[in-house]
Amino acid sequence: MSTTRASFRSAVFLAVAGLVAACGPKPDAQDASNNVPSAGKTGPPPAVPTWVGTYDNDQKAVLSLPLETKVERPARPVYPVLSRFTFTGEGPVLVPDDLLAYANLASEALAASPFLYVMRSGPPSLANVRALYGPAPEPNPDPWRRVVVDATQRPSLVASLPSDEVRALLDQASKTSPPENLALLEQAAKKATDVPGVQAMLADAALAAGDLSVADSAARSALAIDPSFPHAFRVLAEVALRNNDKPRAKEAIARALAWYPTYPRAWKVAEAIAGQPLERTVRVDQPFIAVNEAGAVVVVACDRPFCSGYAACKAAFRYEPVFRASVLQEPESEPYHLSGTEEVVCLEAGLGAHIDAHDRATPEAPAAPDPTAELLIGLAGETGLTGYAMFEVLGQHRPEWLRVAPRPVHDAVLQYIMLRVLGGPVPPAAAPDEPGVGPVTAGLVNGLGGTAKQVSTHRDARLGRGSWWTSDGG
């Protein structure tokens, strides 16, 4: 183990030279919250969010290891603001040019930082996942929240609760059996035409009673209210499966998972459709990133180049406001928050480190194989990494944000699920009159330009990703 300010070589491509120059110390920089480190800030460290929890003995041991270099400018802990999330988009990348550019960009950001970064290798069990992504998510989507879109076409999740009159019908239905409960739930659904959760209750009850027609109709009613309602797509998948229409069932369950990736019953339905257990073969080991008592940023990742490159980039996003602001194209004063951009860029940085290691390998010192990196390089070159990043990483830790994902992001996730998880052709883009694309989503598609290909990411000389929008709340 060694202490260093960068985890891989400090070569800079001309395309990123401007940003690298901007990554140096800025003595006059001021932060707007405790989540943004400032070189000149003094005083007690910010309070640790309760959802971070306590570190185990192994994690504490890593933080207490002696340093080989003196800390000149202590860093302060940074945690994500969980009420904000930035969506972004990207298409296939140029392999290896883009990958190497982001790898070097992150490396130079750390090398120019006033903070001390301690890069160590260790097992994935050390990862402080909650500190990186927030508290453990609810496995099931909340049926009593729906998506609404404001005048600027920005979606958000809002409470969608039944009235007292409808609650009474639901309570009465819970105490009866079919067909009486179906009649009560149908009454409730007629009185709750703007509450998709009630429509979903009717759909599930009808499904349990074997009334596929009512189940299908109720699920579509829920989608007419909220076109991104995961429960409704799951019901449609079960109806299609019982009707032996596997292609339609596969598409519906893929949409349910794309809107909420941790949904347990949706996964069971997906496995029933596939006829076998479904395993995700490409997993990214998360690093451990924390500040020790001396103020050094301790970064622990597996000993593969991909892991070290990914971890270095994650540390740069969290502790280097200039780096983050340049890539996200936002003010430096913005507090650190999770984003699709960060995951995609850091995956690319890890892949760049992997490519760099292979470029420098010799017969005497060959590069170690890394199947995960090779699979991700294939994804990057074929479709880009948005679908993977949103589904396999952010979707496992913060699935609620996928319920308000813009249509092109949802379509990228859907494409990934169909190709890499379920296996099969990608469904065509849905028309506004199809299930799941009501007036709300149709307006969203129009506002974004229709397709992911049309809504392209701006890349300037600094390789800034930009964003479609930042969601607040949710």
pLDDT for residue 467 is more than 70: no
The pLDDT tens digits for 56-105 are 999 999 999 999 999 999 999 999 999 999 887 655 556 566 778 888 88
Give the separation between CA 89 and CA 415, rounded to whole angstroms.
14
The pLDDT, as a whole number, for residue 93 is: 56
25 vs 432: which has the higher pLDDT: 432
The pLDDT tens digits for 259-304 are 999 999 999 999 999 999 998 778 899 999 999 999 999 999 999 9
The pLDDT-based confidence of 41 (bands split at 50, 70, 90) is very low
Domain locations in the chain as residue ranges: 14-38+51-127+293-406, 138-284+434-454
Give yes or no for a contact between 5 and 113, defined as CB atoms under 8 angstroms apart.
yes
Taken in order 132, 135, 141, 144, the sign of the CA dihedral is negative
Give the separation between CA 71 and CA 101, rounded to whole angstroms.
29
Lowest mean pLDDT among 16-20, 141-145, 421-425: 16-20
| Residues shown for the chain | 474
Give the separation between CA 272 and CA 261, rounded to whole angstroms.
17
Average pLDDT over residues 120-145: 96
pLDDT for residue 126 is more than 80: yes
pLDDT for residue 452 is more than 70: no
The pLDDT tens digits for 193-229 are 999 999 999 999 999 999 999 999 999 999 999 999 9
45 vs 408: which has the higher pLDDT: 408
Q: Mean pLDDT across the chain, nearest whole number?
A: 82
The pLDDT, as a whole number, for residue 367 is: 87
Cα angle 257, 341, 134; round to 5: 65
CATH 1.25.40.10 fits 138-284+434-454, yes or no: yes
3 state SS of 211? coil
The pLDDT-based confidence of 374 (bands split at 50, 70, 90) is very high
